[in-house]
Structure 1
Amino acid sequence: MRNHRFVRFAKVGAVGFIVDISVFSLLVYWLGLPTMLARVLSFVVAATTTWLGNRVYTFKSSARHFAQWKRFFISACLSMLPNLLVFKGILLCLGENYVTHALAFVCGVGAGLIGNYLLSSRWVFK
């Protein structure tokens, strides 16, 4: 059961990743926002998207919406720390361009994935 739930969590995360990188790209390449500001803003949008997907699809939760969203956002912020550290570290080492942004995104999201799942399954949607 837990393995199946992790697969659903990963599917929701894939949708969140698409939202995240799309919003980031819009903010950086079209609106000219600074990279790290755009990264944090895109993360907030993606975190809200994944909360809704995980609430409905992964964990099928019926808990109070706002209280659960607050727990999820705290969890997401804790998971965001390794994500942003890896993201920024790669950009500091390799510079900034389309390719390094994409590489930093993938590696950053991977760094935060396990912690996010554990916090979500054991605290947010318990």
Structure 2
Amino acid sequence: MTDLPKGDLPEGKPKHVKAEVMSFALIGVAGLFVDMGALWVALNPLGLDKHSAGFFSYFVAATFTWWMNRQFTFTGASRRGAIRQWAKFLAANAVGGVVNLATYNLIVWLDAPAFAVTLLPWLPALWPYGAKGAGSLAGMGFNFVLSKMLVFGHKAPGA
């Protein structure tokens, strides 16, 4: 039996993991806006094609989310070796990144359906941004688990 008040669980238990998932998800939403902003920069001022722009914006957003998760989600992780940790984050999140980029590229490749463009003539201009959202959601689950276990040094409860 523990001396904690009822409902309070020690770190690593479901309540703590739920807080980490919520923080990770909120940072992911902020990362999605960074991703879309970087996508706009890549498509417009930089003039990259849609696929290269998607890769560029993913890299910018992944760097942003690493930094934010380092500061707010996985606060017990070491603050040393930031460059190494950043590289581990990018490598570990490559699985989610592949899912993210594959989803994005598939949706961009499929392009906006002709029947929808007839009803919504502005849809092609927004299509890459919707694809970014879909890709981010598809990769988030992979990224949380791999970040928690491999990058920020937390073990899964019961492990």
What's the TM-score, normalizing by structure 1?
0.92
Aligned to 2:67: 52
The structure with more helix, counted as a fraction of residues: 1
Using the aligned pairs only, state the percent identity: 29
Which range is displaced more, 7-16 or 97-106?
Answer: 97-106
Larger radius of gyration: 2
Count of paired positions: 126
Kept in 1, the 8 Å contact 2:96–2:143? The answer is: yes
Rounded Cα–Cα distance in structure 1 between residues aligned with 2:133 and 2:60: 17
Structure 2 letter corresponding to 1:118: V
State how 1:69-80 maps to structure 2 within 5 Å: 69-80=86-97
| Counterpart Cα distance in 2 of 1:35 and 1:92 | 9
RMSD: 1.5
Matched with 1:7 is 22
Q: Distance in 2 between matches of 1:102 and 1:41?
A: 14
Partner of 1:119: 146
By how many angstroms is 1:27 displaced?
1.2
1:85-100 → structure 2 map (5 Å cutoff): 85-95=102-112, 97-100=124-127
Structure 1 distance, partners of 2:62, 2:130, is 20
Give the structure-2-normalised TM-score: 0.74
Stretches of structure 1 that go unaligned for 5 or more consecutive residues are: none
Which amino acid is the alignment partner of residue 113 of structure 1?
M
3-state SS in 2 of match to 1:30: coil
Unpaired segments ≥5 residues, structure 2: 1-15, 113-122, 154-159
Q: Aligned residue for 1:110?
A: 137
The Cα of 1:24 is off from its aligned counterpart by: 0.5
Contact 2:35–2:132 at 8 Å: present in 1 too?
Answer: no
Distance 1:36 1:75 in 2: 22
